[in-house]
Amino acid sequence: MKRKRTHSEVQDKVLRDYYDRTSELEKEAPIKKVDLSFPKPRRLVALRLEEETLEGVKKLAASKGLNYSTLMRMWITERLRTEVR
């Protein structure tokens, strides 16, 4: 006994055939390999600062369009580069 195809199976085949005939990917250029790099995982570290210090960092970071934790991470990274040489 022959199994009946379901509606979704028929529709899937129709769609696959359509995209096989009309794919734009190969018309423009062959697909090129892309090298991806991902940032290194970060670890959460607690740091106790005086309220005035934290407020000052937040204001400075905001004036530069940065999050305050990003600014502090940048400062620590820059300092490490100069000190570890």
Would you give per-residue pLDDT tens digits along the chain (85 residues)? 666 666 677 788 888 888 777 776 666 666 678 888 888 898 999 999 999 999 999 999 999 999 999 999 999 999 999 998 7
pTM across the whole model: 0.55
Q: What are the residue boundaries of the structural domains of the chain, listed by start?
A: 43-85
Distance CA 22, CA 46 (A): 55
Residue 64: how many CB atoms within 10 A of its CB? Answer: 12
Quote the pLDDT of residue 18: 83
Distance CA 79, CA 15 (A): 57
Task: Identify the CATH class of 43-85.
Answer: mainly alpha
- Is 19 within 8 Å of 11 (Cβ atoms)? no
Quote the pLDDT of residue 13: 84
- Is 61 within 8 Å of 70 (Cβ atoms)? yes
How many angstroms separate the most distant Cα atoms in the chain?
81
* Cα of 23 vs its chain's centroid, Å: 27
